Chain A
Amino acid sequence: MSQSGNKARCMALAAAALFSARPSPALADVYVIINSTLAVTADDIKLIYTGDKELVGATKIKPLDNHAAASEFLSKVLQLNAGRYKSLWTMKSYRDGRTPPAVKATDDEVIAYVQSTPGAVGYVMSAPPAGVVVLKKF
C-alpha cells in the first residue's frame, strides 16, 4: 500500500471521527434552570411539567416552555411528543383549572424570565451564563 494511500485513509478516518463527534440536533443538551430562590430537586422536573407539582411552601412554581428547545426537552426529559404534552395540559386545564406553562421563543428570553421571576423554571439548549442556577443537564 502506498504512503499516499495510507495518508488518504487516515484523513478519511479523522474526518469521519470528527463528523461523528459533532452532536446531532436530536441529541442536543438541555439545561433545566431555576430561579435562585426556588427549592426543588431534579426529581421534581417531570412533576412540575406534567402539572403534578405547583407549589413549594407558599411559592408557586412557574414553569416555562421554550419554543426553540421544546422538542428536545419533551423527548429527553418528559418522554412525550408534542401532541401528548398538549393533550395532557388540556386535560389539566379542563379538570383542575391549571394554566399551562407560558411559552418563550428563545433561550435568552427564558434565562431573563427565570432569573427575574421567583418560582420560575425553564429549559435552554445553550449552556447558560454564570449566575444562572442549573438544576440538571440532560
Chain B
Amino acid sequence: MLADWNIKIRRAAVLSLFGSLGIQTPATADIEGLTVHGFADVYYTSTGQQNSPSGNSGFKLGNLDLYLAPSLTDHIRALMEDVVEFDDWTAPGTYNGQPSIDIERLQIGYIVSDELTVWMGRFHTPYGYWNTAYHHGAELQPTVMRPQFVAFEDHGGVLPAHMDGLWATGHDDVGPGRITYDAYLGNGQRILDGALDMQNEGNADAHTALGTRLGYEFRGGALDSLWLGVHALEEQVDNFVSGVITARTDVKLFGGFLHWTPGDWELMGEYYDFDNRAHDALSPSHSSTAWYAEADYTFYGRITPLARVERDSLSQHDGYFQYLLGGQSYTRNLIGVRYDLTPQTALKFDANHTDATRNGGQAYNEMHFQVAVRF
C-alpha cells in the first residue's frame, strides 16, 4: 500500500514537472539587474548551561544570509540562498566559533498556475509553520532563537529543515478561504556526527524521504488569516560512525500546526508525533512527541511582548533520537519582547528556563539580546 503510494507520488511529481515544461511556451526574461536581499544578526547570550554545544556566554555573530530570487521567465524562477554562520553546534565543550558557509537553498521552479508550482533542488522542508515562514530570516521571526526541536540540523534540531528533491506546492480557493498543499520527495537523510545530513551530493543510501503538508487558510470573517494544517513525513535514517552504519531507523512523523494573526495578536503552534521503528527489526515502534505554542501582541505597531512554551518527549530507545546531538527530551518556558526600531531593524530580548534533566541533561537559565536587520 505504502509502496504504491510512493510510486504514485513519484510519477505525479515527475509528470507534472516535465509535462508542464512541454505545455507552456517560454516567455521573455523579466530581470532588470539582480537584487541581492538578505538578513544579518548579532546577539549577546548569557547561559547557565555548562559546556553548551552552542558556545559560551558573550557577544556572538549570528547569520549573514544572502539570497537571490530572479524571475527568469513568466513561468520559471529560482531561489538561491547562502548563509555564513558562526554558531554551529559541536560536541559539548568543543565549540570553536569558526565560520561555515552553507548553501541553504538552491531551487529552480516552474510555475504551472497559481494552483501548482514545481521546484527541484534544495529547499526548506515544508512542515509546520516556522521552517518555511522564517527559516534564516532572523529579522522576520519574533524571538531570537527558533524553538529548540525545530532548530537547524547543525543546531541541535531533530527535524530535517532542508530537503534535496522535488517539491510541488500551490493553493486553491475553496469556501471562505483557500486550501494550501505541499508534497515533496527527496534524498533520505542520514545522521553524521550527531546531525542530520540531507545528502547534497546524491542519495548514497537510496532511501527516499516522502512528505506532505495540507492546510486551510481562512479569509475574511472572524477567522480571517487563520491557517490550520497537518503534516507528515516518512523516511529511513541511518546513523554513521566513521563510515559504518550503527543504526537504521524508519522514521514516521505526523502532526499539525496553526498560525493566526487576529488584529495585533499573533498565535502559532506546531505538534509532531513520531512513531519510529528500528529498520529490519521486529521490535515495537517508539513513540515520541514534540510541540510548541507561542503568543505575542504588538503595541503601537512596534513593541511586541511574547511568550512560548516548548515540550518534547523523545524516546532514547529510538536509534534516531539516540544519535542526534539534540535528541534529548526537554521543556522550555520563554518570555521576551521585540522592538521594531525601523521596519528593517529589530531589537529582541528573550529569557528562558530550560529543563533537560529527564534524559540526564541540565536545567539552566538563558537570555539573549539580538539586533537583527534585513536589507
**A interface list, Cβ under 8 A from B:** 52-55, 58-60, 81, 83, 86-87, 90-91, 93-95, 97-99, 119
Contact = CB atoms under 8 A, between A and B. Distances in A.
Interface in B63-83: 67, 69, 71, 74-75, 77-79
Given A97-B109, A99-B69, A90 B374 contact: yes
Nearest to B132: A95
B229 to A, nearest CB: 15
A74 B27 CA distance: 30
16 contacts: A52-B171, A52-B178, A55-B111, A58-B75, A60-B30, A91-B137, A93-B37, A93-B69, A94-B37, A94-B67, A94-B69, A94-B137, A97-B77, A97-B107, A99-B71, A119-B74
Interface residues of B, number: 28
Contact of A99 (B30, B109, B114, B135): B30
Contact of B79 (A60, A90, A97): A97
Interface in B307-334: none
B343 A91 contact: no
- Interface residue SS majority, chain A: mixed
B242 interface: no
B133 interface: yes
B140 A97 contact: no
Contacts of B24: 58
B113 interface: yes
Given A53-B114, A55-B111, A91-B133, A97 B78 contact: yes
Interface in B20-40: 24-25, 27, 30, 37
Contact of B343 (A53, A60, A87): A87
A59 B111 CA distance: 11
B360 interface: no
A39 B171 CA distance: 20
Given A55-B114, A83-B343, A91-B133, A97 B74 contact: no
